[in-house]
């Protein structure tokens, strides 16, 4: 299974079968920490008692303390405490406004000026510009300072990990960043602040100053391929880590979520921290459910 395979072409079914095959093979391994039942793309984990939850929390802290090469995968849930809504949750952007998903589809964006105008207005009004890193972001920055965090793969485009103190060399922004703008026709690349200023001066669909091409935030939209180098780096990190920490993600979006079964197959422990169930709870060694801003800092190892 390779992360370089994407889910936006005719190979989708074959890749899905590869993931399902891997999940089913893992379901029969001796490393399951809880009894699970595996269905296609959904895994049902029995409700934990308070005693079990406390024990899992204690084990998670010990495993993180013992780990030497940690990979973290973060999703929208780690940024909700910073005031940035997720996409698929009860108050998610796409849950409340299904049409908003079109703003993240490259076909609609390139073909329809009205979609671009709405997308640019959404960028101008985005809560990202006022957001500050939360306790979860700072916890991962601390994990890097302790010398344990090898790679931080984030599905988020908000740049809050770097603001919290994580090194840009450690962070892989698998879905791009909203803090840059690129031209879809040439190599023009600029800070988002430059284009936001143009919007404030009255432009509603700003074009490239070099070639008059269509401008777009440097994010990966539906229908766009992910950056091959980012995919290769993420897969390599997952294969080499001894613990993978999945935080704030439903683990339903591929290929990003693929790093979890890849790490598991390579022998790493898996700890999932999220507000609700994820699609990969059943292959985790520990699942912690609750407020990320409370749970993640609570399992950090102490400085030696």
Is the pLDDT assigned to residue 28 strictly greater than 60?
no
Is the pLDDT assigned to residue 49 strictly greater than 80?
no
Report CA-CA distances (Å) from 1 to 23, 235, 276.
Answer: 12, 10, 27
Q: Can 12-82+132-175+225-298 and 93-130+176-219 be said to share one CATH topology?
A: no
Active site residue 175: yes
Task: Break the chain into its structural domains and give their ranges.
Answer: 12-82+132-175+225-298, 93-130+176-219
Q: What is the DSSP letter of 8?
A: S
Q: What angle do CA 12, 182, 193 make, to 5 degrees?
A: 125
Report CA-CA distances (Å) from 57 to 21, 43, 119, 153, 299.
Answer: 30, 21, 41, 23, 7
Is the pLDDT assigned to residue 8 strictly greater than 60?
no
Is the pLDDT assigned to residue 290 strictly greater than 70?
yes
- Check: CATH 3.40.50.300 for 12-82+132-175+225-298? no
Residue 127, Cβ neighbours under 10 Å: how many?
12
The more confident residue out of 45 and 35 is: 45
| Fold assignment, 93-130+176-219 | SIR2/SIRT2 'Small Domain' (3.30.1600)
pLDDT in tens, 119-142: 999 999 999 999 999 999 999 999
pTM, two decimals, is: 0.81
**Token pair of 145 as six digits:** 């300072």
Angle, helices 113-124 vs 192-200, to 10°: value is 100
In three-state secondary structure terms, 194 is helix
Residue 30, Cβ neighbours under 10 Å: how many?
4
Query: 301 pLDDT band (50/70/90 cuts)?
Result: confident
Q: What is the DSSP letter of 105?
A: B
The catalytic position among 19, 137, 150, 175 is 175
């Amino acid at each position: 299974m390779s992360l370089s395979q994407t889910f936006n072409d005719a190979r989708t079914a074959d890749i899905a079968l590869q993931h399902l095959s891997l999940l089913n093979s893992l379901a029969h391994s001796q490393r399951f920490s809880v009894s699970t039942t595996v269905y296609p793309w959904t895994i049902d984990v029995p409700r934990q008692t308070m005693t079990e939850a406390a024990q899992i929390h204690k084990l998670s802290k010990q495993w993180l303390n013992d780990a030497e090469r940690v990979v973290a995968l973060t999703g929208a849930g780690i940024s909700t405490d910073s005031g940035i809504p997720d996409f698929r949750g009860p108050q998610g952007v796409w849950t409340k406004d299904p049409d908003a998903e079109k703003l993240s589809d490259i076909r609609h964006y390139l073909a329809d000026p009205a979609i671009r105008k709405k997308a640019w207005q959404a960028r101008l009004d985005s809560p990202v510009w006022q957001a500050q890193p939360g306790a979860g972001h700072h916890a991962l920055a601390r994990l890097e300072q302790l010398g344990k965090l090898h790679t931080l793969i984030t599905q988020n485009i908000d740049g809050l990990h770097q603001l919290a103190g994580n090194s840009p060399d450690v962070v892989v922004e698998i879905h791009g960043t909203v803090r840059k703008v690129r031209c879809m026709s040439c190599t023009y690349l600029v800070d988002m602040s430059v284009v936001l200023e143009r919007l404030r001066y009255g432009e509603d669909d700003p074009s490239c100053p070099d070639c008059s091409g269509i401008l777009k935030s440097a994010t990966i939209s539906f229908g766009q391929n992910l950056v091959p180098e980012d995919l290769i780096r993420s897969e390599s990190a997952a294969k080499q880590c001894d613990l993978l920490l999945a935080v704030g993600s439903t683990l339903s979006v591929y290929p990003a979520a693929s790093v979890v079964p890849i790490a598991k197959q390579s022998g790493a422990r898996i700890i999932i921290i999220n507000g609700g169930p994820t699609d990969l709870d059943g292959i985790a060694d520990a699942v912690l459910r609750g407020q990320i801003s409370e749970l993640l800092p609570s399992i950090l190892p102490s400085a030696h």
